[in-house]
Structure 1
Amino acid sequence: MSNRLEGKHVLVITSNTGIERDELIKPVQALQALGAHVVHASQAGGTTQTFVGDTEKDTTVRSSKKLAEVNAGEFDALVIPGGTVNADTLRQDADAQQLVQAFAKAGKTIAAICHGPWVLINAGVVEGKTLTSYPSVSTDLKNAHAAGWVDAQVKQCGANGWTLITSRTPKDLPAFNEAIAKALEAA
């Protein structure tokens, strides 16, 4: 175990169902292994249901807080896992949108993978940013006035005072996790 991120606090937000398992579990494990304190908050708190793909139920994971109970000021970075249902549910959640806006306004790191950028679109923070995502989200990003979409493992964009990290799919998790770690080290 490395202490590379000791003293850093990371918030992971999800709905209570439809979360892509690896996009939740692997960043949490990777960041904790580097010494970060990671809190998982979900809409209702308690148990969250993960999936492999969008149809195969997998494990349940406990979240430690409700989104409404979280203060963005206590964290250095925000991570938004994908999963179509998860991202579609979160993008309609006022507490999730408020958290994204608070992290952006405070100049903190926000990382979203797969369909996670849908939450960023609804929070109104993608304009002028270049992102990657699951390919089907690219049109939504363009319609939300993102500066561009790239087909890359990970895309980091630092425009407008805060760092945005995005990735496409679970295959990109090693690069995604490392980009989050480097951004936290630089903060």
Structure 2
Amino acid sequence: MAPDSLPAVLPGGADDPWHQRMRLERELHDGPALRLSALALRLGLLSHRCQDPALAEGISGVQDELHAVLEELRNLAGKLYPPLLDEAGLGPALRQVAEHAEAPVAIVDNSERFGTALEGATYFAVAECLAALPVGAPAVEVAITREGDEMVLAVTGLEPGATARLQETARSLGGRTDTGPSGSPETAVTAVTARIPCA
């Protein structure tokens, strides 16, 4: 998942950038994507009924192109606001990102939900951190919990410089971050803990 460049603004209304992104993703899915799927299906039926082999082959080629465009459209919609983030929350959406990381990543959460704007902002910040992992990097853990009226996002195992986006996002949302070693002196790794106010 490519990281995003929109600022992590967390206003109170449904017109914040993250709600807008979620609406755009749904519109792409429910509009053009469904129409392309239906068109590809109709072309498949035409191809099977066609008596002219050359024409049937041409129709099949157009159908393949439609499938490719549909996949590109779905990928684009997912970059706006991943459907899994809306449906299941921050933990499951980050697990999907972790599957494509260049290093082992464990996502630990308890299925807590934090709202569209907060989940959107933190998702893209953490996704950027994970996308920057080099091949063969040490294992990383991302733990997501709620403590009182704060979301606590603890990321362990990243290089300190790789967490800049996460720290910037936390500050822009009225939160704070702490950075320090974690574990025994022999196995110490960097840990960044972001504490961000949530409803």
TM-score, length basis structure 2:
0.27
Q: Which structure features the higher share of helix residues?
A: 2
Which protein shows a greater Rg?
2
TM-score, length basis structure 1:
0.28
Q: Which structure features the higher share of strand residues?
A: 1
